[in-house]
Structure 1
């Protein structure tokens, strides 16, 4: 897939990291149903490879599906087998080069200019500024855009709706959002999807998804 083009088109990456595999899969499906086209399933979640495989089967072959927290070559090979078609790393690590060997595009975690250069040399096609809030927020992103005007940046970490708008206005190609969007939806176990607490959680997830998508649309309208 053309990851930079997808990031430019959708501007939002949802990060699903759950303690319950069934809940994580429901979360992925619900986000996509609401229009959040780019979803990353973190390997730090329970049975994440199974979640990725089931999500791929449920979403079909053409839906973008990412795997996050890919650190090693074994991680890259495993998520490729599971059906991920893009990789997200928390750092410039072995997983970047291994994913590129498998022809998977990489959103690589960076914080400093030196790490950005290293990630570009390793083959990453977009940079995840992580943790973005601790790195300095939108002001830091603007500073990075000076020496790296053509590098696609995706801030991740502490990105709520207010921060999402600020980062996008500061030049971010997209933003990555975990708990401010997903909440505890990927942790809520239930015997059936009809369980009242699950439905309430999914309703709240849908509402948050619509709010974040509204921010993305508003930024696009302001820029036009």
Structure 2
């Protein structure tokens, strides 16, 4: 499945951002073991490109391991070279089409959403989602009913449920899911949080 198809099925995008490359890699692999199908490694992660490269080698070329915090075409080139299977931006970024991978492009306002779509975005990373919350997504769904939105920013388990109930394609979850695992924190606690978010994404009670 490509990124949008995967998110439509699994409804969850994990975002890994850490200071310890080895711990970040362990976090990616643990999330994959726990059934999180789409994992983004932010380029703000220490040695992010190596983490992406090693994760793709460990998990196989079919794994949906992407690169986040893509702010330029140069970032995109480096990420795709490292093996990123999709790109996630925090804002509008031009020149990503030549890299041939799906893009979830950051946008917040209606004008930004239209611009992101014109730039070829496959999905809209609604960011920062915490600014307007689920109510803002509800307001956007009326003029943009067909747009695949992925709210990101401050998405805890309750917000995730609310966004998904309001028609979000998926939710992007960073620290409420990953916690301190990418800095060397407890992986068992990461597994427990992953189980909670997987149930929420599946429409079950955690």
Give the TM-score, by structure 1 length: 0.89
Could you tell me how far apart the structure 1 residues matched to 2:10 and 2:203 are? 13
What do the CA deviations read for 1:126-183 (whole angstroms, capped 9, x no partner)?
001101011x111110111111100000000000000000000011010000000000
Q: Which runs of 5+ in 2 are unaligned?
A: none
Q: Which runs of 5+ in 1 are unaligned?
A: 189-197
User: How far off its partner does 1:102 sit?
Assistant: 1.1
User: How far off its partner does 1:6 sit?
Assistant: 1.2
1:168 and 2:168 equivalent? no
Could you tell me how far apart the structure 2 residues matched to 1:61 and 1:186 are? 22
Task: Describe the SS at the equivalent of 1:23.
Answer: helix
Task: Describe the SS at the equivalent of 2:64.
Answer: coil
Could you tell me how far apart the structure 2 residues matched to 1:141 and 1:204 are? 30
Could you tell me how far apart the structure 1 residues matched to 2:189 and 2:129 are? 25
Misfit runs of 4+, over 6 Å: none
Residue 180 of structure 2 is matched in structure 1 by: 184
User: How far off its partner does 1:2 sit?
Assistant: 2.5
Task: Describe the SS at the equivalent of 2:158.
Answer: helix
Choose 1 or 2 for highest CA Rg.
1
Equivalent residue for 2:117, pick from 90, 115, 120: 120
User: How far off its partner does 1:3 sit?
Assistant: 2.0
Residue 45 of structure 2 is matched in structure 1 by: 45
Aligned residues: 205
1:78 and 2:75 equivalent? no
Residue 189 of structure 2 is matched in structure 1 by: 204
Could you tell me how far apart the structure 1 residues matched to 2:4 and 2:52 are? 21
CA contact (8 A) 2:66 2:87 kept: yes
User: How far off its partner does 1:104 sit?
Assistant: 1.0
Could you tell me how far apart the structure 1 residues matched to 2:147 and 2:98 are? 21
